[in-house]
Amino acid sequence: MNPIAVRPLFSASRLRSVASASSTARSAIRSTRRTLVTPTNPVKATVSNVTSEHVREDPGELEGGESLANEGESGKEMFGFKLNPVATKTGGHAKSAGRPIYLDMQATTPMDPRVLDKMLPYFTEQYGNPHSRTHAYGWEAESAVDEARQEVASLVGASAKDIVFTSGATESNNMIIKGIAKFHQAKRKHIITTQTEHKCVLDSCRWLSTQGFEITYLPVLPNGLISLSDLKAALRPDTSLVSIMAVNNEIGVIQPLKDISDTIKAYAKENGTQKALFHTDAAQAVGKIEIDVEKMGIDAMSISGHKIYGPKGVGAAYVRRRPRVRLEPLIHGGGQERGLRSGTVPAPLVVGLGEACRIANREMAADHKRVTELSERLINGITKEVDHIVRNGDVKGYPGCVNLSFAYVEGESLLMALKDIALSSGSACTSASLEPSYVLRALGAAEDMAHSSLRFGIGRFTTEAEIDLVVERIIGVVTRLREMSPLWEMVQEGIDISKIEWSQ
């Protein structure tokens, strides 16, 4: 039988022609984004800045002015324009026309390409179960998980044995809060938290209140910080747990973790009682600000992978071993993760979390400096041109989370008008609700100001060009919406609308 001749699909000259045409087309696209360079080796991964000559005013407009509405079914319709899929190429990353500017880093962060590069082998070649102790496939996966555990621990100043892998911060919060409460319920059934915690913490405490536990919800000061005197007054001999968030996900306020821990210890010493355990939800803090569980006296802590440029679906819980923090597990099974969280550890995701923590540990200072500069550029640019703006939260909070309220403008109208910018008016977990943010209400914000708030999330890959465009769009939209508002007209005429008696 004669062998079958296999013809190449493209000749060498044809391939060169296609490559040349693709290169020409790509160079025609002017990007304003910081390019993520995807390598074949994580050591060679880089992040480069790309300048631009032109920034489109409308995300639904192509370079030549043609509307994206005429494009094919390449994306889903959203507020009158289509989102095109991301176009990728070897050695780089470019976004198609029509993608909004992303400023919602508290909801999630884009995965760093160095993280993805580290993960890929564990989806394909090194796919062993890390709990299989009888062959090389299991050993190599176990080794990778151990390395990731050490990277997470190093980022927060912990021992690797203190780290328990979970599906994310929500599971970690549930596991720690409910687990500690249930373990100590025979003698101590009092828990302290704050009114501005994440919904998963508040809902865990709400569930415990139906099980006979007493919950104290501490108020916060107008800047979002707790009062240490209020905390001391709330502590009781039967308090088993104090849970206070490190960095708030809506206003970026940074709570004084060391002072909180010292207050708890001082109360126990003065009253001769057992010290209450201190837990912090650090999903928005780890990798962004310095966290050292030993120096800060933290007993338990929750970590999320997708908040630090890692994969979704993975997180970690820090649970102190010495002195030991005792808790009842929520998930029972094979006894993995010290028996606190049974189930097969997802090695690829854990490897990604470990790499994200390694990068954050190395680049945290540079990231923080750059985010601070972009934050100041955003705030100064907007407040220079627009009056009657309130910044919610402590000005010394995390700079990558900026929450502004615009008087005499309705928040939903703002978001609808800013369809070319991915923003939110609060937590992603409560974004479906039309109620004003409970966090802003806890600060004492009036309902109209709480309704008119926008949260700007700035991150590692945000560019100056994007910030400048956002400033320009915010100024234009707020000005236009106020011109349509009768309340703004009254304010311009010098009328104090707070003293007006409105009829039903």
For the stretch 413-441, pLDDT in tens is: 888 899 999 998 865 454 445 578 899 99
Would the pLDDT of 50 be above 60? Answer: no
15 lies in a domain? Answer: no
Same domain, 278 and 377: no
Query: Cβ distance 115 to 310 under 8 Å?
Result: yes
Above pLDDT 90, what percent of the chain?
69
- Indicate the number of domains in the chain: 3
β-strand partners of 456 = 402
Reported as a pLDDT band with limits 50, 70 and 90, residue 398 is very high
160 lies in a domain? Answer: yes
Count of other CB atoms within 10 angstroms of residue 126: 17
103 lies in a domain? Answer: no
Looking at per-residue confidence, does 153 or 27 come out higher?
153
Give the CATH number of the domain where residue 169 resides: 3.40.640.10
Reported as a pLDDT band with limits 50, 70 and 90, residue 503 is low
Same domain, 304 and 273: yes
12 lies in a domain? Answer: no
Q: pTM of the entire structure?
A: 0.81
Write down which residue in 97, 126, 146 finishes a domain. Answer: 97
Would the pLDDT of 335 be above 90? Answer: yes
For the stretch 360-397, pLDDT in tens is: 999 999 999 999 999 999 999 999 999 999 999 999 99
pLDDT-wise least confident of 94-103, 255-264, 323-332, 441-450: 94-103
Specify the pLDDT at position 40.
Answer: 39
User: Is the peptide bond preceding residue 323 cis, with omega within 30 degrees of 0?
Assistant: yes
User: 445 — phi, psi (to 5°)?
Assistant: -70, 140
DSSP label of 456: E
Burial 269-305 (b: 16+ CB within 10 A, else e): eeeeeebbbbbbbbbbbbbbbebebeebbbbbbbbbb
Would the pLDDT of 411 be above 80? Answer: no
For the stretch 284-311, pLDDT in tens is: 999 999 999 999 999 999 999 999 999 9
Which amino acid makes up residue 241? Answer: L
Tell me the two tokens of residue 275: 């010290």
Specify the pLDDT at position 55.
Answer: 39
Specify the pLDDT at position 501.
Answer: 66
Specify the pLDDT at position 141.
Answer: 97
240 lies in a domain? Answer: yes
Please give the average per-residue pLDDT across 468-494, as a whole number: 88
d(CA 317, CA 403): 28
Query: Cβ distance 170 to 212 under 8 Å?
Result: no
Specify the pLDDT at position 44.
Answer: 41
Same domain, 347 and 377: no
Which amino acid makes up residue 200? Answer: C
Tell me the two tokens of residue 355: 């790499």
Specify the pLDDT at position 219.
Answer: 97
For the stretch 213-227, pLDDT in tens is: 999 999 999 999 999
Specify the pLDDT at position 487.
Answer: 77
Look up tokens 């790499």; give the residue: 355
Same domain, 310 and 219: yes
What secondary structure does DSSP assign to 173-215, as a single string?
A: HHHHHHHHHHHTTTT--EEEEETTS-HHHHHHHHHHHTTT-EE
Query: Cβ distance 68 to 100 under 8 Å?
Result: no
For the stretch 136-147, pLDDT in tens is: 999 999 999 999
328 lies in a domain? Answer: yes
Same domain, 131 and 58: no
Same domain, 387 and 284: no
Give the CATH number of the domain where residue 439 resides: 3.90.1150.10
Same domain, 435 and 464: yes
Write down which residue in 359, 393, 425 finishes a domain. Answer: 359
Q: For the chain, percent helix, then strand, then coil, each to nearest 5?
A: 40, 15, 45
Query: Cβ distance 191 to 208 under 8 Å?
Result: yes
Write down which residue in 70, 97, 124 finishes a domain. Answer: 97
Same domain, 320 and 209: yes
502 lies in a domain? Answer: no
- Domain that residue 225 falls in: 116-359
104 lies in a domain? Answer: no
**Cα 12 to the chain's mean position, in Å?**
47
d(CA 421, CA 271): 53
Look up tokens 């707020």; give the residue: 478
Same domain, 275 and 349: yes
Residues noted as catalytic: 429
pLDDT-wise least confident of 220-229, 342-351, 439-448, 473-482: 439-448
